[in-house]
Structures are given as structure tokens and as C-alpha cells.
Amino acid sequence: MAKKILLTRSEEDNNYLRHILVPKGYTCIDLSLIEHVNLPFNITVLEDFTDIIVTSKRAANLLPVDEGTKNVWVVGATSAEIARQKGYNVQYVAYSATELTDKLPRNIYNHAIYLSSNMISTKMPHGIKMINVYKVRYKDNLSEKEIQILKSGLDYIPLYSENCAKTLIKLILVNDLLKYIENSVIIAISSKVEKLLMDYFRQIVTCDYADQILEKLENYDLNRKYQKEKV
């Protein structure tokens, strides 16, 4: 029987995950907890900076093409590859924004700009300019159809951010849905997200970074299947 997995990212990211998971036998249920909206962005502002900081794939996609004149500091291999293809000099690829802030040299602070959303969980060091290039909206209600989907139960719920975790908790508590999904296995992006969920879910698999989530999901699933076969 196919395992049901709740996809909680943006519509675009959920489509990407579905293409990976469906061929592996998972039934994907869409519940986008987040929506991204690009903001007007005058690329000439980048001319005054030698270094650009990018912590999301969406921000990387908004980078203009460069001719190898600027450095970028990024979170995630996908963002790094996008930047390379656009001609940037990738200086460091971090697993998280927290790690990236620790690796930024102090001598670039006054020459660096951070392309961010309107909501960030990790602040950059003082001196680094920040500009919002997209905004984030989080889901604030569930439709009757979505409520029924959650009531039917789920096997796995991957959560890619602290704010998505908070949004999910709010929605399931308001709609009295916890009893239907409390036995679902949460695949949490970090220990910080794990702590948010410990009072609500019994099984949480904790990752160190986003690219590890699918790996941990599959390993957990295979191990659970093996344990059942042994019984």
C-alpha cells in the first residue's frame, strides 16, 4: 500500500517533490503552507556591492546574469548551481543560513548585500545591507476538502522551515485535527523545528539541512518496512 506524504511547501516546490516521490511509490497530498510573491527588484542596486548573499532557491533565481565580477555566498547546492550558471563566483555553500553567517568574512560586511524575503529566521551580521526581493505568505485557513484529507490520516509530513511548522500546528489545533495525524512521522529540517513539534507528534526524524530530508524519509521508510518483515 502506497504511503501517504503531505507536501507542505509552495506549489512550485511541491511539484518538484512529487516528481521525485511518486515514482518511488508515495502518494503525495498537496497542502501548500507557503506562497512566494516576487517583489519589484531594481538589479542596478547590486552594482554597489562585491558580494551577494542568497539563502533560498527563489532568491537565486532572481539574480541577474553576471560576467564573473561578483561573489555569492549561498545556502544549498541547488542555489549554488543556479548562481554558477549565471556567471557568479560561488565562495561558500552552506547547509543553513546560520552556518553561512558564521562563514562570512568580516571584511565583506560593508560590501555585501543579502537578497531575502520579508520574513527571515536568521539575521545577517551588522553592516550587511538587506533587500527584500520576494515576500512570503503563510496559509491561514483550511478548506473543508483539506480538513477531510487530514482526517483520513498521513504517513509522513516533511517540514522545511520553522514558520511552516508553526503554521501547520496552528491550523491543526484550530480545526481540532491533531488526533488524526499525531501518529504521522514528521521529517523536520532541524532540531529547532523538532522542538516546536515535540508536544504534538510522537515520531520525529530530525535532519541537519534541507537536502537531507528526502534521504532521511526514504531511510526511515525502508527501515520501518524491514522491521515489519522481521516480525
DSSP string, 199-231: TT-SEEEE-SSGGGHHHHHHHHHHHHHHHHHH-
Percent of the chain with pLDDT over 70: 97
Average pLDDT over residues 116-133: 92
Name the phi and psi angles at 138, rounded to 5: -105, 145
Lowest mean pLDDT among 40-44, 80-84, 132-136, 223-227: 223-227
pLDDT score of 89 more than 90: yes
Task: Give the pLDDT score at 203.
Answer: 95
How many angstroms separate the CA atoms of 18 and 28, rounded?
6
Residue 228 pLDDT > 70, yes or no?
Answer: no
Please provide the average confidence, as pLDDT, over all residues in the chain.
Answer: 93
Confidence (pLDDT) at 1: 65
From the list 202, 149, 154, the residue with the least C-alpha distance to 5 is 154
**Which pLDDT belongs to residue 73?**
98
Give the model's pLDDT for residue 229: 64
pLDDT band at 51, cuts 50/70/90? very high
Instruction: Express each pLDDT in 137-173 by its tens digit.
Output: 999 999 999 999 999 999 999 999 999 999 999 999 9
Question: Which one is predicted more confidently, 41 or 175?
Answer: 175
Predicted model pTM = 0.85
Q: What is the pLDDT of residue 231?
A: 54
Q: Which of 99, 124, 102 is nearest to 208 (CA)?
A: 99
Cell of residue 195, nine digits: 522542538
Q: Which DSSP category does 127 fall into?
A: T
Q: How many helices (H) and strands (E) does the chain have?
A: 9, 11
Give the pLDDT confidence score for residue 210 in this predicted structure.
86
Q: Is it the case that residue 134 has pLDDT exceeding 70?
A: yes
